[in-house]
Amino acid sequence: MAVQWLLVCHGLVTLLVLISFLCGQWPIFQGTPIQRIHYFITYGAYDYFLRFIGFVFGTKGTNAILSIEQFCCDRPNPILQVIYLAILWGTYYFIIKSSFSYIPGYYLGAVHRYTSLLAVGVGVLLFLLTSFSDPGTVTAENVSQYLSAYPYDNIIYSEKECSTCKIPKPARSKHCSICNRCVARFDHHCGWMNNCIGERNTRHFMAFLLWHFLICIYGSVALGFILAGQVKELKVVHILTVYYGIERNFRSLAPHVVQWLLGAYNTQILLMVFLAIVSLLLAGFFGYHANLCLTNTTTNETFKWQEYLSWQKKLNEAKASTEALKASISEMGSETKPAESKWKLLCRRSPLEDVEVVVKNNMYDRGFFHNLCEIIFPLSTRSSFVSQTKLKNS
Ligand SMILES: [Zn+2]
Ligand SMILES: [Zn+2]
Confidence tier at 70 by pLDDT (50, 70, 90): confident
In-domain check, residue 325? no
CA 312 / ligand 1 centre spacing (Å): 28
Contacts of 61 (CB under 8 A, 6+ apart): 53, 54
Name the closest ligand to CA 173.
1
DSSP state letter for 28 = G
Q: Which residues lie closer than 8 Å to 355 by C-beta, 6 or more apart?
A: 313, 316, 317, 319, 320
pLDDT at 126: 97
Q: Are residues 196 and 142 in the same domain?
A: yes
Contact between 200 and 136 under an 8 Å Cβ cutoff? The reply is yes
Q: What is the mean pLDDT of residues 256-267?
A: 89
For residue range 317-357, list pLDDT tens digits in order.
888 888 888 888 887 776 555 666 666 666 666 655 666 67
Number of residues that this document lists for the chain: 394
Domain hosting 35: range is 13-74
Whether residue 335 is contained in a domain is answered as no
Mark whether 68 and 117 lie in a shared domain.
no
Q: Quick: pLDDT tens for 111-143.
A: 999 999 999 999 999 999 999 999 999 999 999
Same domain, 35 and 128: no
30 and 112 co-located in one domain: no
Q: Which ligand is nearest to the CA of 177?
A: 2
CA–centroid distance, residue 162 to ligand 1 (Å): 5
CA of 136 to the centre of ligand 2 (A): 11
Q: What percent of the chain has pLDDT over 70?
A: 92
Q: In terms of DSSP H, where are the helices of 334-382?
A: 342-347, 368-376
Kindly state whether residue 228 falls inside one of the protein's structural domains. Answer: yes
pLDDT of residue 3: 65
Q: What is the pLDDT of residue 10?
A: 77
56 and 81: one domain?
Answer: no
The strand pairing partners of 196, in sequence order, are 189
What is the per-residue pLDDT for 382? 84
What SS3 state is found at 161? Answer: strand
Q: Are residues 214 and 260 in the same domain?
A: yes
User: What integer is the mean pLDDT of 144-171?
Assistant: 94
Out of 165, 176, 190, 196, pick the active-site residue: 190
Q: Distance, CA 76 to ligand 1 centroid (Å)?
A: 16
Decide: 172 and 147 in contact? Cβ < 8 Å: no
Q: Which residues of 62-187 form beta strands (DSSP E)?
A: 137-138, 174-176, 181-183
pLDDT at 353: 65
CA of 68 to the centre of ligand 1 (A): 25
Asked whether residue 327 is domain-assigned, the answer is no
Nearest ligand (C-alpha, residue 139): 1
- Whether the pLDDT of residue 391 is over 80: the answer is no
DSSP 199: T
Give the pLDDT mean for 76-98: 93
CA distances from 203 to 53, 244, 380, 387 (A): 43, 56, 13, 22
Q: Using alpha carbons, select from 314, 306, 318, 319 the residue that is nearest to residue 360.
A: 306
Mean of pLDDT values over 372-385: 89
Strand ranges of the sheet holding 181-183, from the earlier edge strand across to the other edge: 137-138, 181-183, 174-176
Q: Is 242 in the same domain as 279?
A: yes
Ligand 1 ion: Cβ-proximal residues, 5 Å cutoff: 162, 164-165, 175, 182
Counting the structural domains of the chain, the total is 2
| Closest ligand, as measured to the CA of 189 | 2
Q: Examine the residue annotation and report whether 190 is marked as an active-site residue of this protein.
A: yes
Q: What is the pTM of this model?
A: 0.81
**Average pLDDT rounded to a whole number, residues 85-91:** 95
Of 74, 107, 126, the residue at which a domain comes to its end is: 74
Q: Is residue 328 part of a domain?
A: no
Taking the CA of 138 as reference, the closest ligand is 1
Contacts of 195 (CB under 8 A, 6+ apart): 130, 131, 132, 133, 135, 179, 189, 201
- In the chain the first and final C-alpha atoms are separated, in Å, by 76
CA distance 383 to 378: 11
| Poorest-pLDDT segment among 266-270, 304-308, 347-351 | 347-351
Residue 68 has pLDDT above 90, yes or no: no
What distance separates the 2 farthest-apart alpha carbons in the chain?
Answer: 98
How many other CB atoms are there within 10 angstroms of residue 245's CB atom? 7
* CA 378/CA 206 separation, integer angstroms: 13
Q: How far is the CA of 133 from the centre of ligand 2 (A)?
A: 12
Whether residues 239 and 375 share a domain: the answer is yes
In a domain, 239, yes or no: yes
What is the CA(298)–ligand 2 centre distance, in A?
A: 14
- Asked which of 74, 96, 125 is the last residue of a domain, the reply is 74
Give CA separation, 191 vs 22, 73, 136, 138, 196, in Å: 16, 8, 17, 20, 8
State the pLDDT confidence band at 276, using cuts at 50, 70 and 90: very high
Same domain, 23 and 148: no
Same-domain pairing of 52 and 83: no
Residue 7 domain-assigned (yes or no): no
The long-range contacts involving 86-92, CB below 8 angstroms and separated by at least 24 positions, are 88/120, 88/123, 88/124, 89/120, 91/219, 91/271, 91/274, 91/275, 92/116, 92/120
pLDDT of residue 355: 65
User: In angstroms, what is the span from residue 196 Cα to ligand 2's centroid?
Assistant: 4
Give me the chain's average pLDDT, please: 88
User: How far apart are the C-alpha atoms of 80 and 71, rounded to whole Å?
Assistant: 12
The DSSP call for residue 40 is: I
Please indicate, yes or no, whether residues 384 and 293 belong to a single structural domain of this protein: yes
Residue 70 lies in a domain: yes
The span from the CA of 113 to the CA of 105, in Å, is: 11
Mean local confidence (pLDDT), 15-33? 82
Highest average pLDDT, of 16-20, 72-76, 178-182, 348-352, comes from: 178-182
Give all strands (DSSP E) within the chain, no chain letters.
137-138, 174-176, 181-183, 188-190, 195-197
Burial label for 20, CB within 10 Å (0-12, 13-18, 19+), is buried
Co-location of 153 and 247 in the same domain: yes
Mean pLDDT calculated for residue range 52-68: 91
Kindly tell me if the per-residue pLDDT of 178 is higher than 80. yes
